[in-house]
Amino acid sequence: QVQLVESGGGLVQAGGSLRLSCAASGRTFSTYDMAWFRQAPGKEREFVAAISRSGGSLDYADSVKGRFTISRDNAKNTVYLQMNRLTPEDTAVYYCAAGNLRFLSRRLSGYDYWGQGTQVTVSS
């Protein structure tokens, strides 16, 4: 079992930056691949970024590539999402997720554990 708690969301102006954190419970964090998803009002939850258990493999949605950076600190049981050059289209609830995967996945079904989410609002 892994419990995930996101933090770092808030209100920011377009062009600004935020860093989200996701703290995981348990001593097995380093055995999980981690990902960030987001869900805007009235839309389906979508993939944002993923990182392998070692941090050696990364994947990004095209919409955030070059602006967002996913990273992890296994000693702190935490995964991060650095978000730069934010736009109003990035407004959503951001969720972190954990899973044991053969390859990094962009599918919701690939992840077994989910946090409660943190709201990110970007004003124009």
Q: What is the pLDDT of residues 45-98, one digit of tens each?
A: 999 999 999 999 999 999 999 999 999 999 999 999 999 999 999 999 999 999
Q: Collect contacts of 65-73 with beta carbons under 8 A, ≥24 apart.
A: 70/34, 70/35, 70/36, 72/34
Task: Answer for the pair 58, 69: CB distance below 8 angstroms, yes or no.
Answer: no
pLDDT of residue 52: 96
Q: What is the pLDDT of residues 22-42, one digit of tens each?
A: 999 977 899 999 999 999 999
pLDDT of residue 26: 79
